[in-house]
Amino acid sequence: MSNLDLMRELAIEGKTKILLLVLDGVGGLPLTPDGPTELEAAHTPNLDALAARSICGMSIPVAPGIAPGSGPGHLALFGYDPLRYEIGRGVLEALGIGFDLQPNDLAARGNFCTLDSAGLITDRRAGRIPTEVGARLCAKLRRIQLPDVETFVEPVKEYRFLLVLRGEGLYDGLTETDPQQVGKPPLPVQPLRPEAARAAELFNMWMAEARRLLADEYPANGCNLRGIAKDPGLPKMPDIYKLRCGAIATYPMYRGVAKLVGMEVLPTGETIEDEVETLKQHWSEYDFFFFHVKKTDSRGEDGDFVGKVEVIEHFDTLLPEILSLEPDVVIVTGDHSTPASWKAHSWHELPVLLWSKYIRPDGVKQFGERPCMAGGLGHIRHIDLMPLAMAHAGRLTKFGA
């Protein structure tokens, strides 16, 4: 029985509230062997005090050695095995810019590229053209008309854009055009199953038109389509966990993933203070809150150790206000590590703390990677967190008689 099947079988309704606080990319690395990680360097009296009355541990987002993207990292936090439930690249791109994807839409991630006179790719990213240029080219590509379907072309960033086809009878199961190496031409989209043949034909018509429209541009005189996909139709958290779920996140990507798993996405502002305000406003309406802090990851990706420390410290000052709402279960962790020294998502385990009235304190007094290595939760996986949260909230019945 899968994790989610077990939850679906055992979950019961209740009045308790679970708060999942996700500091995106919070896991870090020391800059010198004896130095602290970002989280350890941060002055976090409130997180430390919470850790001292919690059970702590380390959590593996997907599997040892695997650095997850934001999609798999969050699916795992919500209890979905990311090796089983995949969100296509096109769908993630749509979520990332807040595009209102419909269940039958086919979404593709587009990459502008450079072609030589023979039509072979010489640069898969078109020299990373500025975002403004990408936007202008997308405006041009919006002129493309396809029979019986609506098309949407939206700029994302630099050489990346989103293409969505909307209409009846569009099936997924399509190959991508990117040959993944230079010196080859973009490949035709091919259907992997008979029902997808029409969609393949439409994407190929679009590609031919796009090539004609881009012919006089440079370096972005061509493009590729990757990860053509639909909303994966994931099982929904309210059905699985019998929880009314609210999501508070400032970035479209995370709001989008939350929507895919059936959470209600609450309107909020740009800052963590805005998010806390949103949490307070809606506190009575939901049983589960996903509260997402983005900037820890952003500073990690920038390689900005000090900046990441500051985001953590900022969050720490707001923690007492959050905890004053008196949740029954609190989890603090991240979706993955983003060490400033690595400047990207990494595979490293995440420190995690779990507080409820029903935990066994483990002597960990500081919320940091090294203290949590010795924590009472041991080394768990992200997909274990929701079952633990549910249990500590008194929302799971006994398994078997």
Residues at the contact surface with a second copy, assessed by CB under 8 A: 1, 3, 6, 10, 29-30, 33-34, 37, 53, 58, 62-72, 82-83, 86-87, 89, 92-93, 109, 227, 339, 341-342, 344-348, 358-363, 369-370, 373-374, 376-380, 384, 386-392, 396-401
Nearest CB to a second copy, comparing residues 95 and 202: 95
Nearest CB to a second copy, comparing residues 133 and 383: 383
Measured CA distances, 368 to 23, 40, 124 (Å)? 13, 5, 40
Nearest CB to a second copy, comparing residues 109 and 198: 109
Measured CA distances, 145 to 142, 151, 349 (Å)? 8, 7, 48
Nearest CB to a second copy, comparing residues 65 and 147: 65
> For residue 18, which of 399, 395, 276, 398 has the smallest C-alpha distance?
395
Nearest CB to a second copy, comparing residues 91 and 133: 91
Residue 266 exposure: Cα atoms within 13 Å on the Cβ side: 25
- Closest distance of CB 371 from a second copy, Å: 10
Based on its alpha-carbon atoms, the radius of gyration of the chain, rounded to whole angstroms, reads 23
- In Å, how far from its chain's centre is CA 124? 25
Alpha-carbon gap, residue 338 to 341, rounded angstroms: 8
Alpha-carbon gap, residue 127 to 116, rounded angstroms: 14
- Closest distance of CB 62 from a second copy, Å: 6
- Closest distance of CB 78 from a second copy, Å: 14
- Closest distance of CB 199 from a second copy, Å: 21
Nearest CB to a second copy, comparing residues 17 and 345: 345
- Closest distance of CB 143 from a second copy, Å: 28
Name the burial class of residue 115, with classes exposed (0-12), middle (13-18) and buried (19+) by CB atoms within 10 angstroms of its CB. Answer: buried
- Closest distance of CB 347 from a second copy, Å: 4
